[in-house]
Amino acid sequence: MALAAELACLPTFEGATPEQAMEAAVRTGVLDRDQVFKMMSKAYDMIEDANAELMPFFHAKRPQEVHVKETKLGVMFIGEMPTERLAEGAALDLTRVDAPSEKDQ
């Protein structure tokens, strides 16, 4: 209804709804009922066209379902770890874990 009122170039008044503006325009003879219905039809057509154009954007931006896989991590020890000097360009494996000794338990 607001778009139809804008299409009719009707003035807006504070506190008045678009429906009230259209009704006042018909009552005062600025518009007749056929013009109002044509503007309403044109406004709905414009909204449908805009929705059709924007639907791919809205579809791409809809919330996506997220599946969170719960994983438990072990304990991380911070300190020195003996490593072997690697050749230049070789990757250092920090995932090697020695079996815990009885004094660590």
> Is the model's pTM score more than 0.75?
no
Q: Give the tens place of pLDDT for each residue, 3-30.
A: 666 666 666 667 777 777 778 888 888 8
Contact yes or no for 27/11 (Cβ under 8 A): no
Phi–psi pair at 53, nearest 5 degrees: -70, -35
Residue segments in the chain with a per-residue pLDDT below the cut of 70:
1-13, 81, 83, 92-94, 96-100, 103-105
Using only the alpha carbons of the chain, give its radius of gyration.
Answer: 35
Contact yes or no for 35/8 (Cβ under 8 A): yes
pLDDT given for residue 81 in this prediction: 65
Helix-strand-coil percent breakdown of the chain, rounded to 5?
45, 0, 55
